[in-house]
Amino acid sequence: MPAFLRALDSRNYRIYFAGQLISLAGTWMQQIAMVWLAYRLSGSAFVLGMVGFASQIPILVFGAIGGVITDRFDKRRLLLATQALSMVQAVLLAALAWLGEATTGHLIALAFGLGCINALDVPTRQAIAVHLVDDRDDLPNAIALNSFLMNIARFVGPTLAGFVVALVGEAVCFLLNAASYLAVLLALLAIRLPADSARRPSAPPLQALREGLAYAASHPGIRSSLLIVATTSFLAAPYVVLMPLFAKEIFGGDARLFGLLVGCAGGGSLLGSLYLAGRQGTDGLARLVGVAAPATGAAVALFALSPGIWMAMPVLVGLGLVLIVTVAGSNTLIQTQVSNDFRGRVMALFTMAFLGIAPLGSFSVGSLAHAFGVRPTLVACGLLTIAAGLAYRRRVT
């Protein structure tokens, strides 16, 4: 097994990886189709921001409680439940789109429902990684491969979604996503975790939550990583919700160009994930994140100023690369520093910083873009991200 795939030597992780590969491709197809459908129905940057806000705000509101649940119960059974509920949500979307009954209200409501599921699903998936590898030294590689997996899906899914939407409509994307959940459900049924992998703390839920928050706040490395992820998610990541406007109104394309642009960012993230997977250990990783974070801001600003797709596409590749190094590198730093007793709660905080803060960014950036224009808004976000990245770099070097 090549060194950058060493975590796949573990049977449980290998099975989980295969199931997630199929499911995440479907997830990305649904995300792209959902955003495009919202834009087709409304033509509004504000509505695009609202869909992104609704899908992720539950993670910010309920994510911490999800972390407490993750630390108390069997992680495999939790994931079986959340993945089954996600399948039901995709079937509902497919039915509404197929019948032509979908409205922006439906999309916002179903996005909110999926966000509530993800408030438990995402921290559980983050916390289960350490239990899937036979050798604890393979954990950084497993985390990097998780990012690699996400970005294979992010590279393939949007491109496929663009063509599927253009040829047969959004409903087929939703239906394919529903079917893809079967793969991860079968994988979860096949893996076997150690008996002690589901810790049940004796503290009451609210006390357990306070203990998790205090633990993260008192650990300088974890605290710094959470802050840079939250800042990047608020300022830089929302560029994705404005992508349909760039595809259609600025570059004059359709759903296929939209999928291609998102796929370019996914390709860059794939390269970043491969680089992280090939690293040995975490030496120098904090300094690397300290370079990647301000570079993310610079890439957002350059994308906003791109005069055409000939510049936008390579910039998006670079943006995807440095963004994933920032986020996945921070994830690795946290996972290798956190105590197992607090893993679920701290990974819930990471999930809140990465996905929970993003809806506030989506809502804010969407609203500002509606009022002041897409390009000026993204340039300002890029400059603020550069400042935040330089501040993080000073703290860790």
Q: What is the DSSP letter of 283?
A: T
pLDDT attached to residue 35: 84
pLDDT attached to residue 96: 92
Q: What is the DSSP letter of 239?
A: G
pLDDT attached to residue 164: 84
Could you tell me which of 380, 162, 379 has the C-alpha nearest to residue 266? 162
pLDDT attached to residue 198: 47
Per-residue pLDDT of the chain (397 residues; tens, 9 = 90+): 566 678 888 888 899 888 888 888 888 888 888 888 888 888 877 787 788 778 878 888 888 888 888 888 888 899 999 999 999 999 999 999 898 888 888 999 999 999 999 999 988 888 888 888 887 777 778 877 887 777 677 667 777 887 888 888 888 989 999 999 999 999 999 988 766 544 555 577 788 888 888 898 888 889 999 999 999 999 998 888 788 888 877 887 777 788 788 778 878 888 888 888 777 777 788 899 999 999 999 999 999 888 888 888 899 999 999 999 999 899 888 988 888 778 888 888 998 888 888 778 877 888 888 788 888 999 999 999 999 999 999 887 7
Give pTM, 2 decimals: 0.78
The one-letter code for the residue type at 245 is L
Alpha helices, H only, the chain: 11-42, 45-72, 75-99, 104-132, 139-168, 170-190, 205-218, 220-235, 243-245, 255-278, 285-304, 309-337, 343-351, 358-372, 374-396
C-alpha dihedral sign at 192, 194, 195, 197 = negative
Q: Are 130 and 136 in contact (CB under 8 A)?
A: yes
pLDDT attached to residue 292: 95
pLDDT attached to residue 341: 79
Cα separation values, 103 from 30, 42, 234, Å: 16, 9, 27
Q: How far apart are CA 76 and CA 301, in angstroms?
A: 41
